[in-house]
Amino acid sequence: MEMLEQLTDVPIAKIQAVIQEKNGYKTPKVDVRAVVFNPKDQILMVQEKVDGCWSLPGGWADVGYTPRQIAEKECFEEAGLTVKAGRLLAVMDKTAQRMPPEFEYVYKFFIRCEPISDRIAIGDETTDVCWFNENELPELSKPRNLKSQIQLMFEYFRDEKKEVFLD
């Protein structure tokens, strides 16, 4: 409410009158990210149209899709790559990760995916798609992922038995 007040210059009392909790108890939104590596030990990233920075392919969880299906769908839509979702690597609370604030409270799921094809292509929400080495990461889209999160995904790549990260 405070963020809306600052953005709109409308007092909180007026905002509360418009935004009533009609759907019951407030719950987090879920952001699902596909974690894909190639045979050269590089991670797949997409350049976001919205800010020109890079992120793991992913987006909001859609009703009617499982987390695996969302990871596969988002990877194809944003990077043109067909993948098979596998293991859950991490569930992170965006606030606990000190990521930029959102209007909604957000949990982030990171799911390891295996490429089924090797074709990559830009999507409607992306301007580029590329594979990156761990020590050559591009400028990251901080609302979507942090360097520490990408580095953690490389740790999972090197150690497949590493326990799931859970905030």
Tens digits of per-residue pLDDT, 57-105?
999 999 999 999 999 999 999 999 999 999 999 999 999 998 888 888 9
Higher pLDDT, 123 or 8: 123
Domain positions in the chain: 24-166
Confidence at residue 2, expressed as pLDDT on a 0 to 100 scale = 80
Higher pLDDT, 96 or 7: 96
Tokens for 150, please give them. Answer: 């990408």
Q: Is 31 buried (19+), middle (13-18) or exposed (0-12) by CB count in 10 A?
A: buried
Q: Residue 16 above 90 pLDDT?
A: no
Please give the order of strands across the beta sheet that includes 126-132.
54-55, 43-48, 126-132
Q: What is the mean pLDDT of the chain?
A: 93
pTM of the model: 0.85
Query: 145-164: per-residue pLDDT in tens?
Result: 999 999 999 999 999 999 99
d(CA 50, CA 120): 20
Angle at 46 between CA 120 and CA 78, to 5 degrees: 60
Which of the four pLDDT bands, split at 50, 70 and 90, describes residue 21?
low
- How many percent of the chain have pLDDT more than 70? 95
Which of the four pLDDT bands, split at 50, 70 and 90, describes residue 23?
low
Which is the CATH superfamily of the domain at 24-166? Nucleoside Triphosphate Pyrophosphohydrolase (3.90.79.10)
Instruction: Classify 2 as helix, strand or coil.
Output: helix
Cα separation values, 36 from 49, 61, 132, 145, Å: 20, 18, 11, 15
d(CA 124, CA 126): 6
Confidence at residue 22, expressed as pLDDT on a 0 to 100 scale = 53
Higher pLDDT, 23 or 32: 32
